[in-house]
Each structure stands twice: as C-alpha cells, then as structure tokens.
Structure 1
Amino acid sequence: MMIFLLLLQAMSSPVFSAEWDAQVVMDLEALVTSCVVIPCTFTYPGGKIASSKLRGIWFLRNERNDTVFHEDKSEIAPNFRDRTKLMGRLGEGNCTLEMIEVKDHDRGPLCFQADIPGTGQFTFLKNCALLKMLYDPPKPTLAHQDTASQGEPYTITCSITHTCPSNMPTLTWSRSTGRIIEDHKNNGYGRWEMQSILTFIPEETDDHSKITCTAKFNGGGSSSADHTLLVQRKKNHRHIIVPTLVGIVIAVVFGAACILMMKKYKKRIAELQSSGRGSVWSRLSRMSRRIRSGGAGRGHVEQRSKMDMMDFGAVHMPNNVSSATSVNQKINKPRFPSPKCQPRSNHHIEDYDDDDDEADYTNTAELNIYGNL
C-alpha cells in the first residue's frame, strides 16, 4: 500500500507532468540593416525554476559551433557578437531572441537550446526560425476616403508592418497642421503594425495637394507613400444664382436682338410698299394683270381673225353666189370698239410703259367687238 501511494505521488509531481516543448515562429521577414525579434516560448519538466538557474542558447542548426547567443559572450561566434540578446525571462518560459544590424547571411535556421543544471538540457531542432531577408524597406499603406469636404474633418491613416517591436519604425507626415495619433499593435506570429492617424480640416486651397507619409526604420532605411487630396468645395447659393443669372441675361439679349430684327424687317417692307414704283407689291400687281389681260387678248385676236376672213369672203364672192351668202353679207355690221375699253387700255399702256421689257405690249382690249346680229 505504501509503495502504491509513493508511485501515485510521483506521477502527480510536476516533474513528471511537464514535458520539454518549444513554440518558435518559424517564418519571419527581416529587413537588412534593421532588427528582428523572434518570438519563442518553451516548457520544461519540474516546478518553476529561477531564471538564474536556467541557461538559454541560440545557434545555427546547420553549424552547431556557430553560437548566435550565449550568456558567456566569449562563446558567441564573432559574426553574432554584440548583436543578439534575450528579450524575456527564461524562468517564465520566454526565450524570445532579438537580433540587430541584420545581415543577409543571418537567415538561419536559428534553433533554441535550454539547460537546467543538475537536470539536463533539451535542444528544439524541430522548431527553428528561418528568416526571409528584405533588402528594400516595405512601403507604408494609406487608408482614406476618396474625397474630402471643405470645412469638415478629414482623416487619413498611415500603416507599416515590421518584425522589430524593440526598435519600431517612425512615421512622419509632410503636412504640419492637424492632429496626429499613433498606435502600435501586435498582429501575432512575430508581426507588428505601426499606425499614424492624421486628422485635419481641409480648405479650398488644399485641393489637389499631395500628402506624404514617410516611414523610417531602425538601421537607416526609409520608404514613403503619397496621396493626392481632392477637396469638394462647400456648397453655397453662388453655384445656383450665377448660372441662373447668366441664362436670364442670354435670353434677354437674344430676345431683344430678335425684336430689333423684326422691327427693321417690317420697316423695310413698309418702305417698299410706300415707294410704289419698283416695289415688290407693284411688281406682283402688274404680273397679275398681265396674266389676266394676256388670256383675254388671245381670245379677242382669234375672234378678230375670223371676222376678217369673213369680210374678205364677202368682198371677193362672185355674182352667182347663193342668196344665203348675200344674206350673210347683209348680216355683217360694222364693228365699233367699246367705249369702256379705251380708258382701260390707256391705263394698261401707262403701266407697261414704265418697264423696258414690256415695250412691245399690245392692248388686246381694242379688239373687243360689240354689236347686234
């Protein structure tokens, strides 16, 4: 029974309940000439041990003799000396490593080893960090609205991600006015984000101006991002009144021009009508009379021709002509022009005497024959 109780107590002891284990971020980006922090945590068997009784070592997995970090600086490889240190307490299971002045051959893999005096040591070869080297600083990201309104607060945010929280980058703005708020947060897995929030009130003169956010990294590297500000002008009554007034003025000027042209046209027509001779209305009147008189004249000419032929037959007819013919000769009476036609013919002659192209006009009214059979 006593042996069973001792075994049960030993199994419930922290020495047997805990295991060697480590959690290391295996993939990280590191900016050359800057710094990088590799997050690391580990567990060990037994109870909590003071940090002074624990020893942590970082080394290159492919080259075990190249020690990256050691408590004894003489044990550190010359290439890493004075460039590495532990960021946490080993007694609390924090084995985070910081490396400054990163070089392009520091890519690793970097592995951690824990030593407990009197208990043993454990090397975590399966959990090693591999660095991806960045030769150019990453550019910051700008978050903002598409347009700003004149006289209203406008906010623009500049963000940059990095892997060195111990010497985080700084963000500066090209604009001197406004309120700036900075925030630094952990995105997890060894990646951090630095934010700078700029708030200001844009004016009309700020339209199409450029705002620049510059990030400066530890080690001297820098990058920047630009944004062209578009300011929407404040609405007022001028935007409505001015176009309306312009439209009214144009309409008044156009209407006045039309009225003047109409008056001038009517005046010209009146002058032409009052002149009589050579006017449009006079020409139209003469043309109308010419058409009417021309039709009647042709009829009278045909009638006169027929009568002349009859007279010619009466004069030259022989004696043996029938009595019917003599009767017809007696029926013919002298032709007298109508007294009503003489004034009318004179009127027509006067009208057409004015025009040279009507000089050959013949008054056919004189050919009208009035008589009783």
Structure 2
Amino acid sequence: MMFLLVLLAASHGAFGGEWKASVVQNIDALVSSCVVLPCSFSHPKEPLPTSRLRGIWHRSSQWDQRIYHNDNTKVLENFRGRTRLLGQLGQGNCSLEITPIQDSDYGSFCFRIELARTGGDAATPDQFSFHEDCVTLKMLSDPPKPTLSHGNAAIQGRPYVVSCSVRHTCPTHAPTLTWSRGTPLDVTTINREVHLGFWEVQSILTIVPEATDDHADVTCTARFYSRRTTSDTFTLFVKRRESYDHIIIPTIAVLGTILIFSGVCMLMVKKYKGRIAELQNQDSVWSRMSRMSRRIQSTHLQPVSANPRRPREESEVALNNLPSSSRCKVGPKFCKPFMPAPGSNSLPKDNIYIEDLSDADDYENTAGLSVHRNC
C-alpha cells in the first residue's frame, strides 16, 4: 500500500506540474481602443493539432461566463464579436484580442484548455483551467502622452535627431506618430515589445535646422486605434554656426565700390585726356593756319619790284636824300658831298625813277647814272 501511495503521489505531481500557463497579471486597456492579452500554455498530453484543441476565456469568478469560445452562442452577449484568438493552440499560443475596449470590461479573465480524446469516450475530454494565472484589466479613460527625447540645442546646418515614443497594449492596431514638421522620408518608425504585454512605438525624426527655426515649436502627435489623439511639444533652440559673413560681405561691398569708382575715374580721365589732345591739335592747326594767313597777308601788302636793282637804288636814294652830315655818319661811302656831272641839273637825278607796270615801259635818267663819286 505504501508503494501504491508513493506511485500515486509521484504520478499526480508530474501530472499537475505539466499544466502550465504564462500570462500578464495586470494590463492597462484604453477605453474605445483595443488590448491584447498575451498567453502561452503547455499540457501533459502528446502534441495535438489546433483542430483537436479548444481554447476558452472566461471570467475568473465563474468559468461559464465566457468572453471567448469558438461557439459564439456560448459567449456573453456584450463580448460577442469583440474577442478572437490570435495564435495557434497547437503551438501553445492562447493570446486574446479584445476590440474595442469598453469601460464595462474591467475585471479578471482566465484561460481554459480542452483536449479531445483520440479514443474511448470522446464526450469527456481532458480539460484544465488556469485559475491561478489570470489577467486583470485596468481601464484607461485618457490615452497616454508620448515622450519626447532630444538634445539641448541644435546647430544650424547640422542634422538634429528627435525621438518620440508612446507605450500601448495593442500591437495589432498600434498607434501612429506624426510630426509637425519634416517629411515621411525624414522619419523612421520602430514598433517593439518592451516586456510581456506592453509594446512601444517609436518615431525618430531627423531634420537640418536653419537660423529661422530658432524658438520654433516641434510637436509629436500620437493617434490611437480609437482615433483619439494626444501630443507633446518642445521648443527648438538653434545655435548659429560660426560665420564671418558679417565681415566678408561688407568688405566685398567696399572693395567692389572702390573698383567701380576707380574704373569710372579711369574712364573719365581717359576721356578728358583725349578731349584735351583734340583741343591741342585744333589749337595747333589754328595756329598754323593763322601764321599762314599772316604770311599771305604780308606777302600781298609788300610792293613787288620788277627791277632787281631797285632795292639797292632805293636804299641809295634814301641815303642821298639825307644831309651830308648824316650820310657821313652812315658810312665812309658818303663822307664827301655829291658832285653832279657837268652839264646836268644842279639836283641829283638818282631819285627820279618811274615804273609803269601797266605799259611795261621803264624810264631812267641816264644822266644820273654818270656820277662821279669821290668815295
């Protein structure tokens, strides 16, 4: 009898130890959104296909108050059409989705498994309820606020990374995160499980801020399955990068002004030099023309002598007309008084010279040529 008792205890311990379930004890559920109750189980029987397994979710107080059953008629009326199994029972996955969540869905829920027998009495299948492994739902009336992560200050012209994340309990309908600036190409989205029953969606924004973005607001908005939204905002501070534009630009402007002014001055000097040269050329031409005109006038006013001896004779006549005292002063040639030839008139005839150009006849007093000169 002792042997039978030991064998029975051992078999009972082994049998009881193999029926296991793993669930999350407490989950936050957003009203009007959805929630997923993660669940996994194991049983002592041989592996069975999903078709030979039946999963049931019920309230912890009474197992006949079912919130999920493959026969929808056996489900509580307020849960019909809102619950479904996500995994395959043949793989030990008993996760349940409830959507949308109602405020009356609060309470604890447990999982029960039924295995159909391969032979014998199929009406009495093996079944086991995991009363010690139940899930308690906590209703949330307001959606959670996203969390922003960013640096203290952005630098102008350099990439700046901002992260926005929000936790949720519905991976099948994860919330979407949008930004008040940037494009979809600037955003990277990551959805991951933080720990059993809780997931996090993260959106990473990469922007290149400019000086005009300083003190601008950047907002991240989370939109949940129920179309309810929540957001968070921070002010972007942009540090201007070191620039010498305030020195270079005025310097270039001053140099440009100097070059333009110098060019204009050079053009004006060149222009006026050409004008002065033209005026000087005109003055020289007028001077030459004036001198030529004076020469022409002097040539027309000077008497023309037909006799080449006339200039000398005129000079001699002029000297003869001078008194003797004056002639002596002029030169030794006239130092003696003039003596006329015998038989001539008392006055000298050298100054009697008539030139008639009109009839081309010249008359000379030949007597005056026969002069006896004492010099």
The TM-score, its normalising length taken from structure 1, stands at 0.59
Name the CA shift for 1:17/1:240 in 2 (closer, same or farther; >3 Å): farther
Figure out how many residues of one structure are paired with residues of the other and give that number: 231
Shift of the alpha carbon at 1:239? 7.0
CA distance in 2, matches of 1:65, 1:114: 13
| Residue ranges of structure 1 left out of the alignment (5+ in a row) | 1-7, 243-373
**Is this contact kept in 2: 1:18–1:43, CA < 8 A?**
no
Question: Whole-Å Cα distance in 1 between the matches of residues 62 and 214 of structure 2?
Answer: 59
* Counterpart for residue 213 of structure 2: 206
How far apart are the structure 2 equivalents of 1:72 and 1:16? 29
- Deviation, 1:176, is 3.4
Tell me which residue corresponds to 1:23: 22
Q: Give the aligned residue type for 2:188.
A: I
Per the alignment, residue 238 of structure 2 pairs with 231
For the residue of structure 2 that corresponds to 1:126, the secondary structure is strand
3-state SS of paired residue (1:95): coil
User: What percent of counterpart residues are identical?
Assistant: 47
Q: Does the 8 Å CA contact 2:49/2:90 hold for their aligned counterparts?
A: yes
* Other-structure match for 1:148: 154
Question: Offset of 1:226 from its aligned partner?
Answer: 0.3
Could you say if the C-alpha distance between residues 18 and 51 of structure 1 is closer, same or farther in structure 2, counting changes exceeding 3 Å? farther
- Alpha-carbon distance in 2 for matches of 1:230, 1:106: 45
Compared CA separation, residues 188 and 26, structure 1 to 2 (3 A): same
**1:99 equivalent in structure 2:** 98
2:212 aligned counterpart, secondary structure: helix
Number of the residue aligned with 1:167 = 173
- Partner letter of residue 177 of structure 2? L
Task: Give the aligned residue type for 2:37.
Answer: I
- CA–CA separation in structure 2 for the residues paired with 1:167 and 1:111: 23
User: Structure 2: where are the runs of 5+ without partners?
Assistant: 1-6, 118-124, 250-375
Residues 143-182 of structure 1: CA deviation (Å, up to 9, x unaligned)? 0001000000000001000000010000011103461100
Larger Rg: 2
Q: Secondary structure at the match of 1:82?
A: coil
Q: Structure 2 CA distance, aligned partners of 1:197 and 1:35?
A: 25
When normalised by structure 2's length, the TM-score is 0.59
Q: Cα distance 1:74–1:17, how it changes in 2: closer, same or farther (>3 A)?
A: closer
Of 55-64 and 25-34, deviating more is: 55-64
Deviation (angstroms), 1:29: 0.6
Q: For 1:33-112, what aligned pairs fall within 5 Å after superposition?
A: 33-112=32-111
* Map of 2:302 onto structure 1: none
**Kept after mapping to 1: 8 A contact 2:182/2:205:** no
Whole-angstrom distance in 2 between the partners of 1:239 and 1:37: 60
Runs of 4+ in 1 over 3 A off after TM superposition: 15-18, 238-242
Determine if contact 1:16/1:46 at 8 Å carries over to the other structure. no
> How far, CA to CA, are the matches of 1:236 and 1:84 in structure 2?
62
Q: How does 1:151-300 map to 2 (within 5 A)?
A: 151-177=157-183, 179-237=186-244
